[in-house]
Amino acid sequence: MSELKYDVRSEHAEEFIHDGEIRATLEYAQSACNDKALVEEILAKAELGKGISHREAAVLIEVKDKEIEERIYTIARRLKEKIYGNRIVMFAPLYLSNHCVNGCVYCPYHAKNKTIPRRKLTQEEIRREVIALQDMGHKRLALETGEHPKLSPIEYVLESIDTIYSIHHKNGAIRRVNVNIAATTVENYTRLKDAGIGTYILFEETYDKAAYERLHPTGPKSDWAYHTEAMDRAMLGGIDDVGVGALFGLSNYRYDVVGILMHAEHLEARFGVGPHTISVPRIRPADDIDPRDFPDAVTDEVFRRIVAVLRIAAPYTGMIVSTRESKACRELVLDVGVSQLSGGSKTSVGGYAEGIVDAEDSAQFDISDNRTLDEIVGWLLELGYIPSFCTACYREGRTGDRFMSLAKRGLIGNCCAPNALMTLAEYLEDYASPRVKIEGAKMIDRLTQIIPSEKVRRITMENLAAIAEGKRDFRF
Ligand code: SF4
Ligand code: SF4
């Protein structure tokens, strides 16, 4: 047992992601999962939609009973619908540079990989990439870049964000730029905040310090505590929407589920607001990376349970699944709580615009879902979800605790649904294939009629009429 004390409010990573507490939790869950009365108690608490603790979540991860498993899925599904409705927010990653000084053993961008072509986009190339993304219909991006203090310093990232927001091509515009860059200083987080970013995203990869240090042998990222305390610095720098996540398959998934939730509990306890999103990537093949080297890979079945339990434990948090996952697997996890999807993604530097790269030879990982954005929009419609290009909250100042307070009172869905319908209408007008246009219009007609508030319904209808006449960018 570690001598450090577990302290949810501590500013020290080893105290809020306390190894002893995680191991004790996993041990407790092994026996507690057989205690029927306790499991019933946890399920009853889960039904209330106010979240469950990391210890309770660990028990639900362990439960073997099939009937209980189905109830976990049902609760997760209901909670997602109750808080966010049936909208699924769409986004795409944009890779700026794959130069990297780190040695992460699971990523082909690691510094020692000499076979992968290294690229860094110029501002003109970023402009071309963004136009290509706008022409697909995207409004929300996640910026990705390797860590390289000389080749991609913070000034390069800030300049790139300015470039992205400045581009208006036809009816296109990127309205929210989320940023996934290496852990940095409070001062740099303030600069990102001032540049108008949406969410700052940083995956922990694995919360298990010993495993983390093995997987990150060299480079600044090898400092587990500095990496783990990044969200605290982001919050101190003024960013109140942060996105956490673990790369499942790197280490023991049970440890990482508990770690994610302890991280969320810590942010809530110290700053009064938990993470805005949780991402659940799984390890994928890539240049120089063979997933068989990672024996902790999780099956689809386990993955589904992880998503459902995270949804139950942190009901107000957006949950993100990328194109790392196949169509079939995405369908499985959409059903139990995922609320954001990437679509039409390229994971290489310069992969969207014609003529920047010859082939996807610089991809960070292989994509399982290769469908176009239009195909994904059509598929979501078929499944009964509203594909949403909404970016309203951050633009309306609904971030951090303001957002959480609405979500916790069950009010955010009143904004999500009409915003989803209006941004879908924009997509249908500007980018959709004829088939998707027909299906989308049917959904908009049907769901607009049942918007509960008479006032919101009327304004939505007026805005939909204005969109049909060529006006853009309405939001609640
Ligand atoms: Fe670099 Fe990030 Fe890849 Fe690590 S995961 S090698 S930090 S790009
Ligand atoms: Fe997301 Fe807010 Fe839009 Fe809902 S209204 S989809 S929470 S940005």
**Quick one: pLDDT at residue 359?**
56
Classify residue 397: in a domain, yes or no: no
* Mean pLDDT (whole number) for 377-406: 95
Residue of 140, 389, 419 to mutate, ligand 2, most atoms within 8 A of C-beta: 419
Distances (CA, A) of 196 to 142, 192, 448: 13, 7, 31
Question: Of 310, 343, 370, which residue constitutes the final position of a domain?
Answer: 370
- Quote the mean pLDDT of the chain: 95
One domain, residues 214 and 342: yes
Residue whose CA is closest, atom 4 of ligand 2? 416
Let me know whether 426 and 365 are in one domain.
Answer: no
Closest CA to 152 of 114, 115, 179: 179
**145 Cα: distance to centroid of ligand 1 (angstroms):** 8
* Alpha-carbon distances, residue 274 vs 242, 262, 405, 407, 467 (angstroms): 8, 10, 11, 12, 35
Contacts of residues 453-461 at CB distance under 8 Å and 24 or more positions apart, as own/partner, are: 453/414, 456/414, 456/418, 459/418, 460/418, 460/421, 460/422
In whole angstroms, give the CA distance from residue 73 to residue 305.
8
In a domain, 227, yes or no: yes
In this structure, what are the phi and psi dihedrals at residue 45, rounded to the nearest 5 degrees? -65, -40
Whether the Cβ atoms of residue 310 and residue 289 lie closer than 8 Å to each other = no
Nearest residue by C-alpha to atom 5 in ligand 2: 416
Phi/psi region, residue 205 (left: phi>0; alpha: psi -120 to 50; beta: rest), is left
Residue 375 domain-assigned (yes or no): no
* Nearest ligand to the CA atom of 347: 1
**Ligand 2 pocket member 332 (CB < 6 A):** no
CATH of the domain at 297: 3.20.20.70
Tell me the mean pLDDT in the region 384-407.
94
Q: What is the mean pLDDT of residues 343-365?
A: 84
* Amino acid letter, 399: T
Give the range among 52-61, 326-335, 357-366, 443-452 with minimum mean pLDDT. 357-366
If asked whether residues 455 and 334 sit together in one domain, one would say no
Q: pLDDT tens digits, residue range 109-149?
A: 999 999 999 999 999 999 999 999 999 999 999 999 999 99
Domain shared by 193 and 175, yes or no: yes
Q: Do 228 and 315 fall within a single domain?
A: yes
Q: Which ligand sits closest to the CA of 396?
A: 2
Ligand 1 pocket check: which of 147, 148, 205, 279 to mutate, most ligand atoms within 8 Å of Cβ?
147
Q: Based on the domain organization, do 119 and 219 belong to the same domain?
A: yes
Helix ranges (H only) for 272-412 are 300-313, 327-334, 373-383, 392-395, 400-408
CA dihedral sign, ordered 291, 293, 297, 300: positive
Bridge partners for 356 per DSSP: none
Q: Quickly state the pLDDT bin for 358 (edges 50, 70, 90).
A: low
> What's the pLDDT at 364?
83
User: Which phi and psi (to 5°) does residue 196 adopt?
Assistant: 85, 30
* Residue 321 shares a structural domain with residue 265: yes
**Average of per-residue pLDDT across 272-276:** 96
* Spatial distance between the Cα atoms of 131 and 353, rounded to a whole number of angstroms: 8
Residue 351 forms part of a structural domain = yes
The helix/strand count (H/E) of the chain reads as 20, 9
How many structural domains does the chain have?
3
Q: Is the CB of 25 under 6 A from ligand 2?
A: no
User: What pLDDT shows up at residue 1?
Assistant: 46
Q: Give the pLDDT score at 293.
A: 84
Q: Are residues 90 and 72 in the same domain?
A: no
Distance 362 CA to ligand 1 centre (A): 13
Q: Which three-class secondary structure state does DSSP give residue 205?
A: strand
The closest residue, in CA terms, to atom 2 on ligand 1 is 146
Percent of the chain beyond pLDDT 90? 92
243 bridge partner residues = 201, 277
Encode pLDDT of 23-55 as tens digits: 999 999 999 999 999 999 999 999 999 999 999
Give me the residue label for tokens 């204005």: 466
One-letter amino acid at 47 equals E
| pLDDT exceeds cutoff 60 at 2 | no
Residues 130 and 257 in one domain: yes
- Which ligand 1 atom is nearest residue 221's CA? 7
Asked, for residue 342, whether it belongs to a domain, the answer is yes
Neighbours of 294 (CB within 10 A): 18
* Gap from CA of 277 to ligand 2 centroid (Å): 12
Q: Which ligand is nearest to the CA of 388?
A: 2
Tell me the average pLDDT across 308-318: 97
CA 292 to CA 442: how far, in whole Å? 45
- Ligand 1 atom with the smallest distance to the CA of 182 is 7
The verdict on the CB of residue 144 being under 6 Å from ligand 1 is no
Please give the helix or strand (H or E) that residue 387 lies within, else none: strand 386-388
pLDDT at 284 over 90: no
| Nearest ligand atom owner, CA of 393 | 2
Q: What mean pLDDT do residues 194-213 have? A: 98
The residue-averaged pLDDT of 259-267 equals: 98
Is 399 a domain residue? no
Whether 121 is covered by a domain: the verdict is yes
Q: Where are the beta strands (DSSP E) in 170-293?
A: 176-180, 200-201, 242-245, 277-279
Q: Which ligand is nearest to the CA of 89?
A: 2
56 and 99 fall within a common domain = no
Q: How much is the pLDDT for 181?
A: 98
For the purposes of burial, counting CB atoms within 10 Å of the CB of 450, is it exposed (0-12), middle (13-18) or buried (19 or more)?
exposed
The reported pTM is 0.96
- 138-147, 253-262, 408-417: segment of lowest average pLDDT: 408-417
Mean pLDDT of 362-367: 83
Tell me the mean pLDDT in the region 163-183.
Answer: 97
Please give the residue range of the domain that contains residue 426: 409-468
**For tokens 């309205």, what's the residue?**
175
pLDDT band at 366 (very low <50, low <70, confident <90, very high): confident
Query: Is 16 within a domain?
Result: no
Mean pLDDT calculated for residue range 63-86: 96
The residue from 61, 80, 99 where one domain ends is 80
Question: Are 360 and 419 contained in the same domain?
Answer: no
**Range 412-431 average pLDDT:** 97
Is the CB–ligand 1 distance for residue 233 below 6 Å?
A: no
195 and 151 in a single domain? The answer is yes
Secondary structure string (H, E, C) spanning 65-117? CHHHHHHHHHHHHHHHHHHHCCEEEEEEEEEEECCCCCCCCCCCCCCCCCCCC
For the chain, give the percent of residues with pLDDT over 70. Answer: 99
33 CA → ligand 1 middle, Å: 37
Last residue of a domain, one of 44, 60, 80: 80
